[in-house]
Amino acid sequence: MNGDGDGDGDVKMEENDGKEKVVLMWGYLPGALPQRSPLLSPTIVRPAGPSSDYSWRDVFGGGCGFAMAISESGKLITWGSTDDLGQSYVTSGKHGETPEPFPLPAEVSLVKAAAGWAHCVAVTDSGGVYTWGWKECVPSGKVIGEPSIGANYEGDVFERQSSFLTEKVSPRSQGSRSTGGTMSVTEARGPGEESAKRRRLSSAKQAAEGSSSGDEIPSALPCLVTLNPGVRIANVAAGGRHTLALSGSDVGQVWGWGYGGEGQLGLGSRIRMVSSPHPVPCIKSSSYGIMNSEEHSFRVPGSYVKGIACGGRHSAVITDAGALLTFGWGLYGQCGQGSTDDELSPICVSSLLGIRIESVAAGLWHTVCISADGDVYAFGGNQFGQLGTGVDQAETIPRLLDAPILENANARIVSCGARHSAIITEDAKVFGWGWNKYGQLGLGDVIDRNIPAQVIIDGCVPKNVACGWWHTLLLAELPT
């Protein structure tokens, strides 16, 4: 998800060299597929208008029903979403098959973007941050109301208010001592499985709430996030309902906002809502993980944070020295600390000390990271094989993937969807594993995989991969 998600260590195969790029997609993207049927194999995304207007720069997985990319001109391009997933409609800004620019101010040029369950966040080339989506995910800031947004946008939000649900179910417990809280139905199930129930419940919810909330839009229009003077953000990550932002250069300060009930904001408490960006203490106040009865409290290796990732309700960061720290919900072991406890503050993953971690990604219940040597480590929930270990057993401590297909294959880029994972190797091969009910592995079928399988990419060279909730995007370069 990188969420939603979706954030990695910001590793790229190489810098832009002016070669033409294409975006390929596979999996399920409501509203972007004429018959609402999954794309089982990589398919080129065709933008609206002349292709010269949409020279792709990068891809970002998007949320539960939409996809995102950034053009070379710095415009955010979105597509997908459908009435069955109202939160996606509001977040992506449109409902359609064709990729089009998201309505941000014309002068804005973006370099990074991320999406959670029902919110988006994007970074400008000047280090500013825009965000929009569910109100609880959006901090106070300058609301963007320029005419370019369009008056119909707000009206559409009202019309689809009934599609926003608060029905909650308890996640499956595995004897955890943590207080996992609740998640939305669609966090736990697939896109088509709850549509009828969703419509029934939304009507009941509106009737029950009546005038108390009938006049309130449950989502927020794009706003410019208010940050401390001089703070320039370089990267962002979006989780289920929380956001992390990383300041640029060698400052490496992490900022967080949104929902923090399981500690995913790393502030040392179960604060349920942080309405403005707060600095997340990641290094000086952090300690090594506890892997035995003896407590350790040493300074975490590194001087600043260089990479961030948000899962459904947990987070991960990487220091400049390659140390991995995690915090948040731990029910499935997704914090890698050897237990199923929640971690309320950033804590170093002890079992990876001595291994330089270069990139990390997080899914709904799992985490995957890559070392400087190109090895892949995975931990957390494994109900659909999303760890790639060959079994469906959860892992509370990072486990090295030793699948034969990855032998001598140095991984360089990683991304996680809700319950699937993907990597690109040094020799530009793409591998995927995990949940595949909607073809999100790109293998030509809908069979889950619990070990990595190669995704065949013909006629182009993979450059970046980004997993959405039920789909996967690939940025690729055409040969000259």
97, 109, 361 from 307: Cα distances, Å: 33, 22, 10
pLDDT digits (tens, 9 = 90+) for 14-40: 455 668 899 999 998 765 555 567 899
The one-letter code for the residue type at 347 is I
pLDDT digits (tens, 9 = 90+) for 319-329: 999 999 999 99
Residue 13 domain-assigned (yes or no): no
Tokens of 231: 């703070």
- Nearest-angstrom CA–CA distance, 409 and 131: 37
Residue 71 domain-assigned (yes or no): yes
3-state secondary structure 364-423: CCEEEEEECCCCEEEEECCCCCCCCCCCCCCEEEEEECCCHHHCCCCEEEEEECCCEEEE
Most confident residue range from 26-30, 133-137, 455-459 = 455-459
What pLDDT is stored for residue 221 in this prediction? 84
- Nearest-angstrom CA–CA distance, 175 and 164: 31
Domains held by the chain: number? 1
Residue 453 belongs to what H/E stretch? Answer: strand 449-455
pLDDT digits (tens, 9 = 90+) for 114-132: 998 889 999 999 999 999 9
Going by C-beta distance under 8 Å and a sequence separation of 6 or more, which residues neighbour residue 17? none
Residue 14 domain-assigned (yes or no): no
Q: Is 136 helix (H, G, I), strand (E, B) or coil?
A: helix
Average of per-residue pLDDT across 187-212:
36
Asked if pLDDT for residue 291 goes beyond 50, the answer is: no
Residue 308 domain-assigned (yes or no): yes
What pLDDT is stored for residue 33 in this prediction? 54
CB atoms within 10 A of CB 459: 9
- Of 3, 40, 4, the residue nearest 436 (C-alpha): 40
What pLDDT is stored for residue 63 in this prediction? 79
* Residue whose entry in the numeric block shows the structure tokens 């509370």: 396
Q: Which residues pair with 369 in a beta bridge?
A: 360, 377
HSE at residue 216, side-chain half, CA atoms within 13 A, is 11
413 touches 13 (CB < 8 A): yes
pLDDT digits (tens, 9 = 90+) for 361-405: 999 999 999 999 999 999 999 999 999 999 999 999 999 999 999
CATH number of the domain to which 350 belongs: 2.130.10.30
Residue 2 domain-assigned (yes or no): no
Asked if pLDDT for residue 10 goes beyond 60, the answer is: no
Residue 9 domain-assigned (yes or no): no
- Domain residues for the domain of 237 are 21-477
Q: Which residues pair with 434 in a beta bridge?
A: 420, 449
Residue 12 domain-assigned (yes or no): no
Residue 363 domain-assigned (yes or no): yes
* Burial bucket for residue 217 (CB in 10 Å: 0-12, 13-18, 19+): middle
- Nearest-angstrom CA–CA distance, 333 and 335: 5
Q: Walk across the sheet containing 233-238 and list its strands.
A: 233-238, 242-247, 254-259, 273-280
Average pLDDT along the chain? 79
Q: Which residues pair with 143 in a beta bridge?
A: 223
Pairing verdict, β 273-280 and 287-288: unpaired
Range in 42-46, 51-55, 215-219, 348-352 with the lowest mean pLDDT: 215-219
